[in-house]
């Protein structure tokens, strides 16, 4: 009897791209996060926070129910409530927003 072993493709590091900046008439930014050639767009809105910087990250996909994640970037440790964090222990949304902030793009 032979055994078939499946190998998973390695997951590439997510990339994030700023698609639209907030403005006086548009209160949110739009970012595109791509992982393994699958790109998803998100609305990013600043939230008030007692510490760090808070953001609401809403998936833009008319074919599915809206999903909103909350991200708080803080020097003492970031917090987030997405499924990726629960499964993988980190969050592409927080990592991406932090990278855009560090680059001065957001």
As beta bridge partners, residue 10 has none
pLDDT of residue 7: 63
Of the listed ranges 18-27, 28-37, 80-89, the one predicted with least confidence: 80-89
7 within some domain: no
2 within some domain: no
Q: Scanning the structure block, which residue is given the tokens 């001065």?
A: 104
Q: What number is the average pLDDT over the span 77-106?
A: 82
92 within some domain: yes
Share of the chain above pLDDT 90, in %: 39
10 within some domain: no
Report the greatest alpha carbon distance in the chain: 67
Look at the chain and count its residues: 106
pLDDT of residue 5: 62
5 within some domain: no
Query: What's the pLDDT tens digit per position in 30-51?
Result: 999 998 889 999 999 999 988 8
pLDDT of residue 76: 84
Q: Give pTM, 2 decimals.
A: 0.80
27 within some domain: yes
Give the count of domains, the chain: 1
64 within some domain: yes
- Measured between alpha carbons, how far is 25 from 43 in angstroms, rounded to an integer? 14
Q: Provide the terminal-to-terminal Cα distance of the chain, rounded to the nearest Å.
A: 57
Query: What's the pLDDT tens digit per position in 90-103?
Result: 788 888 999 999 99
List of E strands, the chain: 15-20, 29-35, 38-47, 53-60, 68-73, 79-80
CA proximity to 98, closest of 80, 84, 83: 80
pLDDT of residue 16: 93
3 within some domain: no
In which domain, by residue range, is 65 found?
15-102
């Amino acid at each position: 009897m032979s055994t078939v072993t499946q190998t998973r493709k390695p997951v590439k590091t997510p990339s994030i791209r700023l698609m639209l900046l907030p403005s006086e008439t548009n209160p949110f930014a739009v970012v595109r996060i791509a992982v393994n050639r699958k790109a998803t767009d998100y609305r990013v809105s600043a939230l008030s926070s007692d510490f760090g910087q808070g953001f609401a990250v809403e998936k833009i996909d008319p074919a599915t129910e809206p999903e909103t994640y909350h991200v708080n970037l803080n020097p003492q440790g970031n917090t987030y409530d997405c499924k990726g964090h629960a499964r993988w222990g980190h969050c592409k949304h927080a990592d991406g927003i932090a990278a855009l902030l560090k680059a001065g793009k957001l």
